[in-house]
Chain A
């Protein structure tokens, strides 16, 4: 969408900052949609700041068991000394919630970056060159995509860390496990865009002019194929947080002495709940919900704004020139739960529900 916007507004040339991805959408949005976007941006901002300033914000260390007055004690109710109480293991809940944001954001960034690089590279090569490699990759990615994401992440977790891990190992294991789940999503989107762009006139002309495949791929195709990436990025960022928490919950977490992880804390609070101890589970859980909510609100708003059918109407003229069917996820980003971008085919009833080239089709 950004490319279209840039083209259509070239005559008037608005200042650069208004054309930046999120800023542009913020100006374009109205009413409810703007509210959702703003709330999402605020929550996400708080999350990022918390992660950065965790050492300053947290009253204790994430693995600290004793303060000035000796041991914290286990399962203490919230009090002046421990605002959110202590866990069954004797850690301070508030500190672990704050430090947990750092773990979450690290895994999120590593996972999304890894999957963008791998997914984009594969999608570009597959879509551009086509042939048997393309078919094999499409079938493999479809198989992986159809598979329950969490199970795949579990298998990867076993492979990478054997199920238990220290800080770096744990973060890498979680990130790579999540990456494997995400690659098919980037692959599908980039491949589809590449196939479409490959047929454009400017690619033809570049080829006639003698441009190399690499140059066409990276300069002409890739640059135009990336418009949907910010959307998938936000989807996957929230999914990464959920997958990390899920992995932590079933015991692939990072050890409490190496880092704070919300899913792990929730798992340890499982037995507390039965005896009515609520503070050990409520706060880490709320942290997950808030972070995912914030990022999802941003992603959802960006997606809706990119889709003219979902965008709230406003006075004509202001949006002129930006109407292109660019929704990555028709039906909203929400369908993109841990199962992937399910909404991808949501409102295309006229087409095959599984948009792949059947290997049996081309005879």
Chain B
């Protein structure tokens, strides 16, 4: 709806020139514009986070104010350069972010970029598994709901989808933990692996930090099984959140395509109903789904913070909360800035995929 309404606001001049260029390298220009748009997005988010965090004062006082005497505090503030005009610090910070330097944590005195690398892989692994869960649950169920529209399966699935959305990730996590880990004792309560596997993984020559890949490297099926078992509950908790969204989305879009002429034509040709839904109606409904996945990345990353805390999954979200507790705002700022970059990049990638699939997307 927004898109439709926005169109008339485009200046007339712009439209004419667009028409001239569009027959040629439409997609190249489209992707270039999209790519260039990443920078203002990152710039705005990083600046916003910087200024917001700085309104609370300098990071050293926030982290160590209660622990150090004033003269030592002042010394450390000066050493870190926080006594200079804030605008100077701002431009310095922008320059650092541009070169991938996010500063040094105050509480643990490690480069933030190192923290991001170490824990980012854990978060990536979790989000990847959650996406798989969301696909496997959301897409087939969405087709089922669309096919039996307004019938009992549809009603049940819609309530399920709303429940998925209405249940906070951490509550879903707690329930899953209670049932599968505490009562049934079939899955581990928390963490990414047992200590034994952890030691094996750390002794690898080149660990990736993504435990599934590392476990494959060890070649020990017990380690791989252990790592996968640990991932089941967190992935389910986070995946269910998104599964509801996918279910709704697939349902609406397949309902739209099921009513089209070509689906009727296929049906009259004798295509069986299963194929009708899973191929003829589903394929054209894919594009809106892909674009929404891009937006889901933000939802998933937010959800990952909560899931990681629930399951003590030592990823970026888990560390974020630890740093907040330690009032280490340099680290918080770094993690938030990195996530902003990831969101901007993933939106760009989704734009590319959408444009490649559907020529209509590139205007």
Contacts and interface: CB of A to CB of B under 8 A. Distances in A.
Query: Are both chains from one complex?
Result: yes
Interface in B167-203: 167-168, 170-171, 174-175, 177-178, 181-183, 189-190
B56 to A, nearest CB: 6
Interface in A266-292: 266-267, 269-270, 273-276, 278, 281-282, 285, 288-290, 292
Contacts of A146: 41, 295, 298, 343-344, 347
Interface residues of B, number: 98
B82 to A, nearest CB: 17
B6 A334 contact: no
A1 B214 CA distance: 56
Interface stretch (A14-22, A80-88, A97-105, A246-254): A246-254
A158 B9 contact: no
B340 interface: yes
A12 to B, nearest CB: 29
Contact of B351 (A289, A354, A360): A354
B3 interface: yes
Given A296-B162, A312-B150, A159 B1 contact: no
Contact of A334 (B10, B189, B248, B298): B248
Contacts of B241: 337
B324 A159 contact: no
A218 to B, nearest CB: 20
Interface string A197-221: 0010000000000000000000000
Contact of B252 (A270, A331, A353): A331
A334 B1 contact: no
Interface stretch (B44-52, B73-81, B92-100): B44-52
Contacts of B361: 349-353
Interface stretch (A46-54, A62-70, A166-174, A185-193): A185-193
Given A276-B182, A344-B1, A246 B36 contact: no
Interface stretch (B112-120, B204-212, B263-271, B285-293): B285-293
B332 interface: yes
B8 A32 contact: no
Question: What interface size band does chain A fall in?
Answer: 35 or more
A245 B302 CA distance: 13
A149 B205 CA distance: 38
A158 B332 CA distance: 10
B33 A289 contact: no
A212 B344 CA distance: 40
Interface string B260-287: 0000000000000000000000001001
Contacts of B44: 139-140, 143-144
B67 interface: no
B185 to A, nearest CB: 11
Contacts of B52: 155-156, 158-159
Interface in B304-340: 305-306, 309-310, 320-321, 324-325, 327, 329, 332, 336, 339-340
Interface in A74-97: none
Contacts of A270: 174, 309-310
Nearest to B57: A162
Interface string B224-245: 0000000000000000011011
B306 A250 contact: yes
Contacts of B162: 293, 296-297, 300, 334
A355 B2 contact: yes
B249 A361 contact: no
Contacts of A113: none
Contacts of A300: 162
A159 B49 contact: no
Contacts of A251: 321, 324-325
Interface string B123-151: 00000000000000000000000000010
Contacts of A312: 150
B6 A192 contact: yes
Contact of B295 (A269, A282, A293, A342): A342
A349 B6 contact: no
Given A195-B6, A250-B321, A347-B252, A276 B183 contact: yes
A303 to B, nearest CB: 11
A182 B308 CA distance: 25
Interface string B56-85: 100000100000000000000000000000
Among B181, B242, B292, find the residue whose CB has the most chain A CB atoms closer than 10 A. Answer: B292
A342 B305 contact: no
Contact of B249 (A249, A267, A331, A340): A331
A147 B45 CA distance: 8
B2 A340 contact: no
B309 A249 contact: yes
A266 to B, nearest CB: 6
17 contacts: A32-B155, A144-B45, A147-B340, A274-B181, A288-B167, A289-B171, A290-B166, A293-B162, A340-B295, A342-B295, A345-B2, A346-B288, A350-B361, A353-B354, A355-B2, A363-B14, A363-B17
Interface of B: 1-6, 8-11, 13-14, 17-18, 33, 36-37, 40-41, 44-45, 48-49, 52-53, 55-56, 62, 150, 154-155, 158, 161-163, 165-168, 170-171, 174-175, 177-178, 181-183, 189-190, 241-242, 244-245, 248-249, 251-253, 255-256, 284, 287-288, 291-292, 294-296, 298-299, 301-303, 305-306, 309-310, 320-321, 324-325, 327, 329, 332, 336, 339-340, 343-344, 347, 350-351, 354, 358, 360-361, 363
